[in-house]
């Protein structure tokens, strides 16, 4: 017996390959530098080059390189490092948190394939970050506050995936979507970045404090709801600035004097 | 910002989950026992339990278990071990060889997602093996003789995937297909197993030798073509026995006397 080819599909470099430059893999507090290397290799297999690590200390270079292999070593050399997740995410307009299927009050999440349908129209004009948490605990609720969507790889009973394998499956789905489905998509406009939106939230929060809307007890709960509400709106840059201006006006001494 | 769920898809145990029992992951001459453990964990994530290792020596148990983790240790304990690939493949009716995209005279192969379309109708009544070669060299041409199809994970320029990640991506595609697409498929009948087909080939080969069809020089070339021809036919068990009977008759002293 031997091999039959179903079709002559060739995976030559597609025209929209450059779209993969708008994707970043963000590893939040990874425990083992080997997993960063292994994740970088998987990303490079799929034409994704941007690796960001958020941690307290810069991970051991040698241990990362070992599993990145010679072929993906340049991704480790170019790796971005941040101590703070908010800083790391500033350039991104859409942020996807990857989670295990199970979790308290977290709901089932979307499958990576569902997520690609959302991401593809945004990809030409927006930078998109995929967040992966630590090997043992995953992303914290604090990390997930930045996320617009959650992606959960469908699994059978045992839902805890190896970190680098979870990265590999996501990168594989991204690459597959970009080379096979991108051409059928009408692109969406550039959305506000995390930096712009987080700035706006600071104004919104201080304004709501000033008018005593946010009482101490329910502060976090209301702010989370407000974040959700604005997150769903796919705000553009100029819209965050408009909201910011209204808040500034509300807080101006002039306005407060009139009270 | 926070999380929106596109749909209420829940990955509860589907009715056709038992079909995953008809899948085996076959690792041919893996160099690092850690990769066997890591592959077993990935298989167990996706409800696949049957791991077969073909090698000269039984791999180090402790090194396998370490990466299988406690959760998938039972797959390592139940792992089948063979020294010979032909023996390992005897129960299987369809065999898929996984290869990197590039390779001399090997063609592009089908993507894992294409392969699932072929596999799904066969899954209810046939045992299917997915073969993965060694980390550095992949499957040999000799290994590929047993394979009906080749699956090549689409990659960007750098096509060499980590072994356990290649297993993870295939298991993910298998699980996804079984839970989402199996119900729309009309099942195909049970095909002859590798054991039955290889037995038949022995008779075919000796018969063709006897009539001097297979000359020494082109023997392998013709046998490969004959294997391809029969492989494409999706032979059933009784059909291999019919061909075998014809060959036996041809080789009987009675028939030879009449010559």
Domain ranges of chain A: 18-184, 194-258
Give percent above pLDDT 70 in chain B. Answer: 86
Q: What is the pLDDT of residue A248?
A: 84
- Confidence tier at B217 by pLDDT (50, 70, 90): low
Q: What is the pLDDT of residue A98?
A: 95
Q: What is the pLDDT of residue B13?
A: 52
Q: Does A88 touch chain B (CB under 8 A)?
A: no
pLDDT digits (tens, 9 = 90+) for B41-77: 999 999 999 999 999 999 999 999 999 999 999 999 9
A vs B: CB pairs below 8 A: 204
Distance, in Å, from the CA atom of B86 to the CA atom of B219, rounded to the nearest integer, reads 20
Q: What is the pLDDT of residue A76?
A: 97
- Residue B193: DSSP 8-state: P
Contact B42 A161 (CB under 8 A): yes
Q: What is the pLDDT of residue A63?
A: 97
Tens-digit pLDDT profile for chain A (259 aa)?
444 434 333 444 556 788 999 999 999 999 999 999 999 999 999 999 999 999 999 999 999 999 999 999 999 999 999 999 999 999 999 999 999 865 444 455 689 999 999 999 999 999 999 999 999 999 999 999 999 999 999 998 888 899 999 999 999 999 999 988 766 677 888 999 999 999 999 998 888 888 777 776 678 888 888 888 788 788 899 889 888 888 888 788 766 655 4
- The fold for domain B19-184 equals Alpha/beta knot (3.40.1280)
* C-alpha dist (Å) from residue B198 to B192, B223, B241: 10, 12, 11
* C-alpha dist (Å) from residue B50 to B81, B253, B258: 11, 45, 51
- The fold for domain A194-258 equals Helicase, Ruva Protein; domain 3 (1.10.8)
Give every CB contact of residue B207 below 8 A, 6+ residues apart in sequence.
B247, B250, B251
Chain A contact set for B7 (CB, 8 A) = 110, 114
Which one is predicted more confidently, B210 or A13?
A: B210
Mean pLDDT for chain B overall = 86
Contact A3 B107 (CB under 8 A): yes
Distance, in Å, from the CA atom of B112 to the CA atom of A258, rounded to the nearest integer, reads 68
Closest CB to B1 among A38, A159, A197? A197
Chain B contact set for A118 (CB, 8 A) = 6
Distance from CA of A48 to the nearest CA of B (A): 9
As a whole number, mean pLDDT of residues B124-130 equals 95
As a whole number, mean pLDDT of residues B179-184 equals 75
Q: What is the pLDDT of residue A11?
A: 43
pLDDT at B4 over 80: no
Q: What is the pLDDT of residue B257?
A: 57
Closest CB to A168 among B17, B45, B165? B165
The answer to whether the beta carbons of residues A43 and A72 sit under 8 Å apart is yes
pLDDT at B231 over 50: yes
- Confidence tier at B21 by pLDDT (50, 70, 90): very high
- Confidence tier at B95 by pLDDT (50, 70, 90): very high
Burial (0-12, 13-18, 19+ Cβ within 10 Å), A236: middle
Could you confirm whether domain A18-184 is CATH 3.40.1280.10? yes
Q: Is the ipTM of this complex over 0.90?
A: no
Give percent above pLDDT 90 in chain B. Answer: 59
Contact B4 A149 (CB under 8 A): yes
As a whole number, mean pLDDT of residues B164-190 equals 88
Q: What is the pLDDT of residue B222?
A: 82
């Amino acid at each position: 017996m031997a091999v039959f080819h179903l079709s002559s599909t060739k995976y030559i470099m597609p025209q929209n390959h450059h779209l993969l430059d708008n994707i970043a893999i963000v590893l939040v507090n990874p425990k083992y530098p080997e997993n960063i290397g292994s994740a970088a290799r998987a990303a490079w297999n799929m034409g994704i080059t941007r690796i960001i690590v958020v941690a307290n200390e810069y991970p051991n270079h040698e241990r990362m390189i070992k599993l990145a292999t010679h072929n993906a070593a340049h991704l480790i050399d170019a790796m971005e490092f941040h101590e703070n997740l908010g800083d790391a995410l500033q350039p991104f307009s859409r942020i996807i948190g990857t989670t295990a299927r199970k979790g308290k009050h977290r709901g089932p999440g979307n499958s990576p394939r569902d997520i690609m349908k959302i991401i593809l129209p945004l990809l030409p004009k927006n930078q998109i970050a995929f967040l992966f948490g630590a090997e043992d605990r995953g992303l914290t609720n604090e990390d997930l506050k930045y996320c617009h969507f959650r992606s959960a790889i469908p699994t059978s009973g045992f839902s805890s995936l190896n970190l680098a394998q979870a990265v590999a499956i996501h990168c594989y789905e991204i690459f597959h979507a970009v080379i096979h489905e991108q051409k059928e998509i009408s692109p969406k406009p550039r959305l506000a970045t995390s930096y712009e939106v987080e700035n706006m939230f600071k104004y919104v929060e201080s304004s709501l404090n000033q008018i005593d809307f946010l009482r101490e007890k329910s502060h976090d709960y209301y702010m989370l709801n407000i974040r959700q509400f604005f997150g769903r709106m796919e705000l553009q840059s100029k819209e965050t600035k408009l909201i910011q201006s209204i808040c500034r006006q509300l807080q101006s001494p002039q306005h407060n004097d009139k009270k």
